[in-house]
Structure 1
């Protein structure tokens, strides 16, 4: 029996923090419902930083000029369905700082089935029983807020 590797789908995701170090997560209804960081796949010719800024504009109506795009904090590889097609998605997560007031969903051009957005404190994120992607986000954030960005991106699983 032969198995084939699904096609690669590169993605850029933002770990969005405000001045109070709350993280912005988006809720989706698929697969039983879950919360996730903003982001999506790269378009032709884009690098990860450019894709991150575009996704913030498309999903949250954030003007790229108001964003402080920081270091790549993490990377995750996951096989899953996208549009009914199996892919191997490789996501790079970038620290992103914005003012909470700069998030303007009414200006979003591609809200991508987002059902809700919410700012979470680290303690709320650590205590939730809801599904949050990427798995391990609370631990990653706790480490970043205590020690700063890692020297090399952390590899996340799940």
Structure 2
């Protein structure tokens, strides 16, 4: 039986005026052949609210500073289990939607883990995500985006 490390996280669906979502391209240091795309966000500190963590992570990972009120309520929640750098996590995560006209991503706020595990970023359209053979998380991303953007 796998021993899971519990973790709470907040993630942001950062969507531009062309309805493209920002994703980071990551690699698991413990499994260098495992590459995947994922939304900005990350683990919450003890006592940190999900929206507070989303605001903090957004600033650290993209350079975009916005007040909590701009993110509103979560648009999607899930519990996921995954390994990262040799540790198995059971992560409860909430996703927030933030629309921006456009944004030039600034990754100078990356911590060491992010510097070691994030190799690129790009803006993806829903059709591009639906066509790609590349792995992205959450698995339901296109369904969630279609729902929150009114494209379903």
Q: TM-score, normalised by structure 2?
A: 0.82
Whole-Å Cα distance in 2 between the matches of residues 101 and 15 of structure 1? 13
Q: Which stretches in structure 2 are left out of the alignment for 5+ residues? A: none
Q: Which residue of 2 aligns with 1:25?
A: 23
Q: Which residue of 60, 68, 87 maps to 1:85?
A: 87
Whole-Å Cα distance in 1 between the matches of residues 69 and 17 of structure 2? 12
Whole-Å Cα distance in 2 between the matches of residues 93 and 119 of structure 1? 17
**Which digits, 9 at most, give the CA deviation of each residue in 1:14-58, with x for residues without a partner?**
111112211000001225210001111101221000000111111
Q: Which residue of 127, 131, 145 maps to 1:123?
A: 127
Q: Which residue of 2 aligns with 1:110?
A: 111
* Matched-pair contact (CA < 8 Å) for 2:13–2:21: yes
Point out the more displaced range, 116-125 or 47-56. 116-125
Q: Which residue of 2 aligns with 1:46?
A: 48
Q: Which stretches in structure 1 are left out of the alignment for 5+ residues? A: 149-158
Q: Which residue of 1 aligns with 2:145?
A: 141
Q: Which residue of 37, 44, 60 maps to 1:35?
A: 37
Point out the more displaced range, 48-57 or 88-97. 88-97
**Which digits, 9 at most, give the CA deviation of each residue in 1:59-111, with x for residues without a partner?**
12222359931331111212223443322111111112234235322x32427
Cα RMSD, aligned residues only: 2.4
